[in-house]
Each structure stands twice: as C-alpha cells, then as structure tokens.
Amino acid sequence: MKTKVTIFMVLFISSSAFCSIDFEEVTFGYNNGFKSEKWVPLNVTIRSQNEPIPFNGELIVEVRNYNSNTPIYRYATPLQLSKTDRKQKHIYIYHPKSTVRLVIKLERKDISDQDIQISITEPRAIHEITPPIPIANKDYLVLVLAPNGDKLKKNINNKQLDDDGTHVHIKYVPNTRAMPTRWVGYDAVDLVIIRGVSLTDKRILKQQQTALLDWVQRGGTLILSGGSNFRLMKDSFIEQFLPVKLVREETLDMVPPTLGKQFGLTIENNDSVITTSNTENIPFKNIHFEPKQGCQTLLGTDDQIFIAKRNFGSGQIICLAFDYNAPSFSNLKAGETFWRWLLKTNGKSPKLFADKYAPFRQHDEKINKHFLSKMPTQVPLIKLLAIVLPLYLISWGGITFYVGRRGCSPQKRMRGYWLGGLITVFVSVSAIGFARVVLPKNIGLDMFSILTIYPERKNAHYQTYVSLRSFAFTKTSIDSYQDNFVRPLLNEGRTHPAKFFQQPSFSLQDVAVGPWAPSTYVYDIYFTVDAQQGEITLENAWIIKGEKAIKLGTITIGKNNILPQEPLNEQVKKIPPDEELDGNRKTFARILQQEGLFLYLSNPENLLNTDEVQTRTVLIGWHPTATPITWSNRNDAGDSETLVIMYLNEEDTGM
C-alpha cells in the first residue's frame, strides 16, 4: 500500500516538471470594453499537455478589491480535461464599482484510485489579470458584427459625441460563434450593429438569438444595415420583429436629398439642393420598406423609408434601407456626420440613456437599509434579546438596590451582589442557549420583485431583491433554473464570499446567513408567459403613456380581458405612482422614485427629434407573489411585494 502511494506521488510530482495545465488565453469584456456595475463576459482557454492524471475540478474566478486584496465575489464552473486537451470556458462576472483584480485558478476535486485517496488542495494553475479602466456609463459601447473591411471604427471610434464629453467606443465581434449565449453577455453594451452576416439558425444558435432579443427588450438598441444585405435579413429570426416589411432590393442612381442631408452630402440653400461632392451620384443598393404597425420613420419620405425604428420592450430595433459601409456613405467625413446624428438622437433607448445617472443612484443601499430595519422584528434571537436584556438590567438594578439597603456587613453585601449577578447572568444565558436549541434554525426571507412583461415575444423578466435572515449563524444555497443570474445586492466583500456556480444554470453556494444583518442578493430570470395560465390581479394599478395616466385601482387581467378604453385624463407626477400606497409598497415605490429608475417610461429624454417619438403605453400595478427560487432550510417567505410593469400593444387599449 505504501509503495503504491509513494509511486503515485513520485509520478505526479515529477510529471509536473514536464507537463502542465496552462491558461492559454484570457479575455475580459469585448477587447477590454466593459462598464462597471454590469455583467461582463470572461472567456478562458485552458490547455492540458501530457498531464499524468486527467483534470476533474472547477475553474474558480475570484474578484478581489485591487487595493486591499479582499475577496468580493467568487465564481466557479465545472471543468474536466483529459491528459492532452484544450477547452474554452465562458463565465459571466459582475463588475462592482471599485477597482478590482481577477484571480483565476483551477482546483481539483479529490483523486481516488481504489486504495489511494489523495486530496490536492493547492490550485493546479493560477492566472491574474487587472481589468483596465471601465467605459463611463454615459459613453456608448457599440458592438459590431460585420465582416472584414467595415469602416465604422474609422468613422466614429473614440470620437466625442457632444459637449458633455460623451465618447463612442467601437468593439468588433470576430464571428457569430463569439456572440453571447446569455443576455447578460450584452449587459454592458448600449448598441449592437449587424451588417453582412447571415441571420439564419445555421449561423446563429437559438441560444444566441434568444440572448440578443432578451437584451434588446431590456433596453438595448439593435441596428441592422440594409442595401445588399437584403437576402441576409429576409427570412431571418429577426425579420418578424422589424419595424418594416422587406419588400424588395432595388438600385438607386443617386443619393436622395433627404438621405444625403444626414450624411452631409447635400445641403439646402434658398429652397434648392446643393451637392457637396460628386460621390452622391454613385448608384447604391437599397431595400424598399413598407411600414408595419408601430413603425417610426426616422428618415424618409412618403414614398421611401430610409431609416425606421420600432420600440421593442424597453429597447428599440432600427433598420437602415441602405448599407452604411457602401459608397458614398462609407467615406470618413460622411460617415462621421451620419453616425453623430443617429447616435445622438436614437443611439440609446431611453432606459440605457438614463444609465448615465447610475453612479449617483443609491437604490441598492436604500433597499438593503430597509431590509436591515426589519431584522429586530423578524429574527427570534433579536426579539428574545429585546426581552431578556431589559429583564437582566432590571434584575441587576434590583439586586444592587436590595443589597445596598440591607444593614449587613460590606463583605456580605459584596457577596450577595456578585452572587445575585452571577445567577442573573446564568439565567439569561441559559434562556438564550435554550432558545437556540429549541427554536427552529430555518432561514426566513423577505422579497421585493419587479416583474416586466413583454407582449412581443410573450415573455417576462423577473428581478427579485432577496433578504435572508436566520436565528443563528448557518449556511445555505440557492438553486435556480437555467439562464438565471444572482449577485449580491451590495459590493461588500467577505473573508469567505459565497460561490456563484454556473453550470449552465446559476446556483449560489456557501451562503452565510446570520441574525444580525441580512444577506441580500439580486436574482434575475427570464421566463415564457403562458396565456393559458389564468388571471392576475393587480392592486393600485395605473395605465401610463408619457405624462398622462389613468388610475385603475384594482384590476384583473386574464387571457380574455380587455383593458378599459378610457381617455388619458390625469397627469402622473411620480413613477411609479405612490398614491394610496402604504407599508412596504410605499417604501419601495419611494426608493424607485427618488433614484429615478423608471423615468424612462414617461420621459424619452435622449431623443432630440421629439416630433417622431411614440411613447409606449405601460400598465403598472402591485401584486403579492412568491418567488420561483428554491431555498434550502427556509421558512415560509416573509413580506413579499411585486411591482408589475406590462408593456401594452396599441390594439390592447384605445389610448
């Protein structure tokens, strides 16, 4: 037995000198393009060369504070490598406000071979990276999927967009295989541009299609370039969601003045059109558009639409009838003029445009403070101490007063004083200890959720703020469904932070829960809305469109329910409205108002061409609901409130 173990260890140690597992390539974000307080993709390529033992373990990523080296987050994903192997792993990292460094390592599981059981706790390989300075929230992070030769980067990259110092950062995706398979992969991106790429199921996986569409609904902007790309857009997965019908491809002999004006190719002077160069006479491919319901014409005439847009959930989809990379649109001066105009007016959806205020928002801190304020009334230990401590102080004071009044010797008074005090302490500690044994140690939780329903694809996004509490210190885990993501509510690191496990479902392991402060997390999930599931009742409901609103009170929405056809007769002053709210609803509504999280629902402040704005109609209401999260060792949920936001199709309401 000893000989066998010795031979095994000698082979393992000696082989390490000639064999290795190395990090071949590590990339963070898109060519180091990312934003703080957003999810960022981390791609790691690992190579195993002649390893004596196949690797079976986990790829661990620790996000540490750059200055103090304190762990903030800890991510993990399973990894198996043969003796000679090469694999690529994708992990999504939530980047906090503070400057961080990433420590990436491989940790083996126990190695066992019949009589041999050896546990290797040291990391097999370690790699560290320090991400560069993140892109400012007000800047535009533009992700481009286009073949080689695309001139967009030369036109607008690193150019200042306005007087506020807003810049544009162009990042290219090398091919469709590099597109994210989860919507959070686009979380830091403001704008995606696709040109010259086939959008069929063979080129773009179903997961990638879903990720892109989910991201757009959450506030992203998607731009599709036309012209000779007609056949690539036709019959694609995105065609049904376009603002226009793709009628036919045509060739125009010259750039029309309406289009040339935005490129600086033509100018109007005394009711006449003056050309600024000869390039506008070059023929170009164009797609003839016909508008669909909800189409907004950003540039065009009654006969021809050149740029069209539609609202898509909180985001937007924009179609160009021409190819921006074709002459004469592709020359540097014309391209810069055009993209400055388009990005300033429609480059970000109202939701993402409002992200420039993100560094000043404190809704996470305020929600956590509210959860903390409820701890004394909900945790048995704290309530028990609230009873025991006053009794202890009264008893101690009574003993002191009684002993002091007795006409006995100082020695007897002192002895009685300490004896009474020790008895009081013993009784108090015994009561607390007995309670810790008798009372259940299950975990309780409070929740506040925001449910956003999108009719275009019959799906919804569910975001839950969760507060965990326990009678005594313990650990738990959060098991969730596929395509879910969990992050701490605050960026406060711990000596041993919880582990966020991605496989591909997202689970949270080794969560420390105690009685003195809540453990708070934010949970995100997308799911399909089944029209046959039944009815949902909303309380304190409003219909809001722009600055006008209708107060509905309590309303039941079902598969055959039609919303009231009433005129918009009230002006909404707060988003979400807090009239007639009380308790937790009022608290959460005021936090959302003070931080301006939903101003984009009524204030499309980023759009300069306000004459073309078509503000979405939304239904807002409150519904007490349970969470789809599965918890280990938990009690029934405590307080739970859900703010429901439902985007309405224009045909659903007469407003």
Average pLDDT for residues 435-450, to the nearest whole number? 73
Closest CA to 118 of 110, 108, 109: 110
Which residues lie across from 528 on neighbouring strands? 459
Confidence of residue 2 (pLDDT cuts 50, 70, 90): very low
Which residues lie across from 88 on neighbouring strands? 45
The more confidently predicted of residues 307 and 254 is 307
CA angle in degrees (0–180, nearest 5) for 43-46-47: 150
Q: Is the pLDDT of residue 618 over 80?
A: yes
Contact 56, 109 (CB under 8 A): yes
Q: Is the pLDDT of residue 350 over 70?
A: yes
Neighbour-count burial for 490-507, b at 16+ CB within 10 Å, e otherwise = ebebeeebbbbbbeeebb
Instruction: Please report, for residues 7, 99, 168, 307, 310, the alpha-carbon distance to residue 318 in angstroms, rounded to integers and kept in the order given.
Output: 66, 35, 18, 7, 7
Percentage of the chain exceeding pLDDT 90: 36
| Dihedrals phi, psi of 328, to nearest 5 degrees | -95, 10
Where is 4: in which H helix or E strand?
helix 2-15
What is the DSSP track for 382-396? HHHHHHHHHHHHHHH
Neighbour-count burial for 152-175, b at 16+ CB within 10 Å, e otherwise = bbebbeeeebeeeebbbbbbbbee
Which residues lie across from 56 on neighbouring strands? 80
Torsion over CA of 218, 223, 229 and 235, rounded to 10 degrees? 20
C-alpha span between 396 and 393 (Å, rounded): 5
- pLDDT for res 29: 93
Average pLDDT for residues 536-542, to the nearest whole number? 88
What are the tokens at 217?
A: 């609904």
Q: Is the pLDDT of residue 527 over 90?
A: no
Strands 459-470 and 100-108: unpaired
The more confidently predicted of residues 8 and 123 is 123
Query: Within 13 A of 562's CA, how many CA atoms are on the CB side?
Result: 9
Average pLDDT for residues 250-277, to the nearest whole number? 76
- pLDDT for res 306: 95
Confidence of residue 490 (pLDDT cuts 50, 70, 90): confident
Contact 223, 307 (CB under 8 A): no
Q: Is the pLDDT of residue 581 over 80?
A: yes
Q: Is the pLDDT of residue 239 over 80?
A: yes
> How do residues 87-136 score in pLDDT, each as one tens digit?
999 999 999 988 999 999 998 876 544 444 444 445 667 899 999 999 99
> How do residues 582-614 score in pLDDT, each as one tens digit?
999 999 999 999 999 998 888 765 554 444 556
pTM to 2 decimal places? 0.85
What mean pLDDT is reported for the chain?
Answer: 80
> How do residues 47-92 score in pLDDT, each as one tens digit?
988 877 888 889 999 999 888 888 888 999 999 888 888 999 999 9
Average pLDDT for residues 290-307, to the nearest whole number? 91
Contact 119, 110 (CB under 8 A): yes
Q: Is the pLDDT of residue 382 over 70?
A: no
Confidence of residue 34 (pLDDT cuts 50, 70, 90): very high
- pLDDT for res 508: 80
What are the tokens at 518?
A: 């809540």
C-alpha span between 443 and 232 (Å, rounded): 53
Average pLDDT for residues 422-451, to the nearest whole number? 70
Percentage of the chain exceeding pLDDT 70: 73
Q: Is the pLDDT of residue 389 over 80?
A: no
* 3-state SS record for 554-603: EEEECCCCCCCCCCCCEECCCCCCCCCCCHHHHHHHHHHHHCCCCHHHCC
